[in-house]
Amino acid sequence: MAAAPAPRVLSLLSASTEIVCRLGMAHALVGRSHGCDAPPAVLALPAVTSPKMDPTAPSEEIDAAVRAVVAGGGPVYEIRNRVVAALAPDVILTQDQCRICAVTRADVAGACADLPASTIVTIEPTTLGDVLGDVATIAAALGVPERGARLVASMERRLDAVRAATAPFPRATACHLEWLAPVMGSGYWIHELFDAANCAMVHGAKGGHCPTLADDAALNDAEVLVLAPCGFSVERTRHELRSLGLPERWKNVRAVREGRCYVADGDRFYNRSSCEVVETAEMTAEMAFPELRGLWGHHGKHFLGALRAEDFDAAFSLCSPKNRERLSSPAKFREICGGASFAALLTGGEVSRTDVVSASAATVAVAAGDRRFLFDLAFEGGAWRTDGVRVVC
């Protein structure tokens, strides 16, 4: 007997698109939302939605635009109902958890009222149990429940492996920031993923909404700070940090001072209730415990070190005795380095250097952006010391 044909599936949620593909049902997809981009092959499908605000705008502008749309009672996204009708989906996957994050069931019902009968499958995850349950729900809707059960079991085994790997270490306090302007904490299923990584989450509760922090001082509650704003890639977040002036504003935050502040791919791993929540737990474990760095291979691929306080004590110790006497103290050194030229050296993006070395002396030319610096070095007491730096005008 021939197998029943696969249903025609329209996914309006990035998490459900990824789940459909993990279930081996990518061939059933006929369309997607504008935010469905994983795995990359789904980008070949027609997108049937678009946002009503500019997703490339600064964080503050996006926040204001979304609040205005929500206050007006209208949908945050547009649905191209003629395209949807032409695709004639048998199953439409959507969500009812957050009207800001993706198209909701009400949006679908309003925009596609004239569609032929379609099964609308709505997920509404707030806890890790919900995320795992949604995998089973989608698998059942696509006629492959056994695949769903197998996939959930695999995810649970991998989460158990994270718990086992992190168990020997003292529990760390950690904070995930869902947004940067205003600064917002996290919650939902992310709280349980932090728990699986042996981290106690601050500024967020299991199944709870993302709280807005009263002030930056609240960030000092965390040993580890994970910056993964909703919908933002690593590159987008690093740009946002600079445009918001956070490197200077947060220089005294505990995690920044101690070099334990990271930026991660929020769009893919910290905001989607997909099968990749397993990777989220693994990444969090690598951030919290340097001894595990590289165990799952996420560092440098899905997360990077973000903000780090400048260590002027260490830099001062590299100066020659004569230069230390002239500078008087690390605090004075920091004051001297407060100008625009040195700021470019400290935070100026791409940095290149050229060394000219002899047996006892060296000149190191460093280019940071459009500024060049020359460091004069001498070999004294078994170590290289600098006797000063010149800014090339």
Count of beta carbons in the 10 Å neighbourhood of residue 375: 18
pLDDT at 321 over 70: yes
Mean pLDDT of 106-117: 63
- Judged by average pLDDT, the poorest of 52-56, 222-226, 273-277, 339-343 is 339-343
pLDDT at 68 over 90: no
How many Cα neighbours within 13 Å face the side chain of 203? 27
With cut-offs at 50, 70 and 90, classify the pLDDT of residue 333.
confident
Mean pLDDT of 352-361: 67
Higher pLDDT, 163 or 235: 163
pLDDT at 3 over 80: no
Tell which residue, 102, 85, 108, has the closest CA to residue 15: 102
Q: Please tell me the distance from the alpha carbon of residue 153 to that of residue 140, in angstroms, as a whole number.
A: 15
Look at residue 1 in the predicted model and tell me its pLDDT. 47
Provide the terminal-to-terminal Cα distance of the chain, rounded to the nearest Å.
80
**Contact criterion met (CB below 8 Å) for 170 and 164:** no
pLDDT at 198 over 90: yes
Q: Please tell me the distance from the alpha carbon of residue 259 to that of residue 280, in angstroms, as a whole number.
A: 20
367 Rama sector, left if φ>0, alpha if ψ -120 to 50, beta otherwise: beta
Q: Please tell me the distance from the alpha carbon of residue 250 to that of residue 308, in angstroms, as a whole number.
A: 9
For 32, residues 6+ apart whose C-beta sits below 8 A from its C-beta are 10, 11, 12, 17, 42, 45, 46, 47, 48
Look at residue 228 in the predicted model and tell me its pLDDT. 96
**Contact criterion met (CB below 8 Å) for 79 and 48:** yes
With cut-offs at 50, 70 and 90, classify the pLDDT of residue 177.
very high
Complete edge-to-edge strand list for the sheet that includes strand 371-380: 351-357, 361-368, 371-380, 383-392
Most confident of 2-16, 58-72, 80-94, 190-204: 190-204
73 Rama sector, left if φ>0, alpha if ψ -120 to 50, beta otherwise: left
Rounded-to-10 torsion of CA 25, 31, 32, 33: -160
Look at residue 100 in the predicted model and tell me its pLDDT. 54
Look at residue 345 in the predicted model and tell me its pLDDT. 63
Q: What are the structure tokens assigned to 349, written together?
A: 């993006």
